[in-house]
A and B are shown apart, each in its own frame.
Chain A
Amino acid sequence: MEFVSQLGSSTLDSLSYLGSLASLGARAAYYTLVAPFKGKPLRLQRAVSQAMEVGVRCLPILSLITFFIGLILALQAAYELRKFGAISAVATAVAVTMSRELGPLVTAIVVIGRSGSAFAAEIGTMKVSEEIDALETMAISPIRFLVAPKFLAMMVMLPCLTIWANVMGILGGSLFGVAQADFTLARYIQASIDSLLLRDITTGLVKSVMFGITITAVGCLEGLSTGAGAEQVGRSTTQAVVKSIFLVVVVDLLFTALFFFAGN
């Protein structure tokens, strides 16, 4: 009985957490899409500087990681393909796996580590030092002021980063292709492009937008629900990272299944 009631209460907790995420997302969407037409302008400048931080500053580390991932994929694929004498299929394997799955996922995980945690820490610190309360007493919505620009930045930058990650992954694969599988760089790239269908890329991009929404919602919600005291900021940051990674994988599964059954 004890177990059943615990299971019930943690299920309810999880559902209410999802509810809070959805409500935060909806309010941010309101301030991004509706409120600007009611005379409450969006802080575009802030969104641009967030996009700079989330996107552009992420490029070096993301490039390095996805380049290596592409190389690893090529090695792993070649291990199996070699047996069938189909080593030239590595280009296809890397291109399709990167753009359908690993490009969006690895990008999301790098962004969680860099930005999801930073969102939770930034908003959490503001909460602890009463800055969020100060915004409210000045009749400035913290959602509009802090959260909405982050959503906008993430929803634009994550697909961009994902495309970049796909390219870097293919380049990583090409290193193996050129060195071990008798490709020239130009032929490897051509083989990758030939193997990709538009829907391989679009499904990845759709997922990356959803990841962006998930990461921002979790990071901001954890920040806003920070309790009193500096150590709570650390707790929020950790929670943001753990919950984001989990939810991103869940969202990934949902959309992959959806695309699979829809024939994409």
Chain B
Amino acid sequence: MTAEQILSASHTEPVISLRNLRVSYGEREILHGINFDVVRGETLVILGGSGSGKSTLLRTLVGLEKPSAGEIWIKGRDLAKTSAEEMDEIRTKIGMSFQGGALFGSMTVGENVALPLREHTGLEDSTIEIILRLKLQQVGLEGFEYYTPAQLSGGMKKRAAVARALAMDPEILFFDEPSAGLDPIIAAGIDELILELKRAFHMTIIVVTHELASAFLIADRMLLIDKGNIVALGTAEEMRSSTQPRVRQFLDRIAEPEVSGELDYLQMLTAERPNAHNAAGKRGK
């Protein structure tokens, strides 16, 4: 087998599979049966408005929320049924970059990036030092290891967070709103970084965002989620040419029809979830 054949064979094997995933906070169900697969080396962008459930989906994928029903297969293990130890084992193979960076304020950038290595590997300090330098170099932050997070700009914090997520050489990398709160130039830099990781390390990357420009730039496939249901799943091209009203509305940035009266508002609140956008459409007429 040639290298290409091996690569294309591993391409078809799903790294993440979701089967009828449901997540609830108390009585309220946020995700109503989500199904999709992500194959190795793929970049999947999860799009959706505020309150669509996209953040909950991401939190469930990294094991921060427990599903109320369904299966999440990551690397051949069902997250819904793993013990705490198994979960920790899976977590050493994934990396997560949080929206605000979530760097530990009491530690320097270097200590932040080195933390997972110090906690999970028995490596010598000198070896950790070398890995740390490499990771910071990868995200373009060489020389910043002695800075505290408070001394970094927003974009640099995100980069440092990516370096920390990369520390354990994860196979899957998750991003929560990578370009939120950044100016367009810095945001483009983060997009570049994600593309670079994909090209250089063939990493499986899941990005949650509502920035369309960034999504079209980095995505192999996109998933649009609305009110806890998948509306569309396809390549960037398929999304662009989609005629589904909800997809068009999201991509063309059309505002939700305004609520005109008390009765309408009440109706909107009490509307059945799956028909909610139909109801909104009717009200618009």
Contact = CB atoms under 8 A, between A and B. Distances in A.
A31 to B, nearest CB: 13
B106 to A, nearest CB: 8
Nearest to A128: B100
A137 B119 contact: no
B98 A134 contact: yes
B115 A138 contact: yes
B99 A130 contact: yes
Contacts of A130: 98-100, 102
B64 A137 contact: yes
Nearest to B106: A122
Which one of B89, B95, B104, B120 has the highest number of Cβ atoms from chain A below 10 Å of its Cβ?
A: B104
Contacts of A86: none
B92 interface: yes
A259 B44 CA distance: 64
B119 A138 contact: yes
A126 B104 CA distance: 8
B64 A133 contact: yes
Contacts of B168: 138
B31 to A, nearest CB: 18
A129 interface: yes
Contact of B102 (A133, A139, A140): A133
B92 A134 contact: no
B96 interface: yes
Contacts of A182: none
B10 to A, nearest CB: 25
A138 B116 contact: yes
A140 B119 contact: yes
B64 A139 contact: no
Contacts of A137: 62-64, 91, 94-96
Contacts of B64: 133, 136-137
B125 interface: no
Interface in B56-102: 59, 62-64, 87-89, 91-92, 94-96, 98-100, 102
Contacts of A131: 102-105
B77 to A, nearest CB: 14
Nearest to A133: B64
Contacts of A134: 96, 98, 102, 104, 164
A139 B100 contact: no
Interface string A49-93: 000000000000000000000000000000000000000000000
Q: Which of A125, A134, A140 has the most CB of B within 10 A?
A: A134
Contacts of B91: 136-139
B104 A140 contact: no
Contacts of B103: 131
B63 A136 contact: yes
A140 B104 CA distance: 13
Interface string B100-128: 10111100000000011001100000000
Contacts of B104: 126, 131, 134
Contacts of B98: 130, 133-134
B94 A140 contact: no
A3 B116 CA distance: 52
Contacts of B88: 139
Interface in A189-226: none
Nearest to A138: B116
Given A131-B104, A133-B64, A139 B99 contact: no
Among B59, B89, B98, the most chain A Cβ lie within 10 Å of the Cβ of: B98
A140 B116 CA distance: 8
Interface string A99-142: 00000000000000000000000000110011101101111100
Contacts of B87: 139
A140 B115 contact: yes
A206 B88 CA distance: 37
Interface string A143-156: 00000000000000
A140 B96 CA distance: 13
A130 B59 CA distance: 11
A136 B90 CA distance: 12
B16 to A, nearest CB: 15
A139 B120 CA distance: 9
Interface of A: 125-126, 129-131, 133-134, 136-140
10 contacts: A125-B105, A129-B100, A133-B64, A134-B96, A134-B102, A134-B104, A137-B63, A138-B168, A139-B87, A139-B91
Given A126-B104, A138-B91, 18 more contacts: A129-B100, A129-B105, A130-B98, A130-B100, A133-B98, A134-B104, A134-B164, A136-B63, A136-B64, A137-B91, A137-B94, A137-B95, A138-B115, A138-B116, A139-B88, A139-B89, A139-B91, A140-B116
Report, nearest first, the 5 A-B pairs whose CB atoms are least far apart: A139-B88, A139-B91, A134-B102, A130-B102, A137-B96
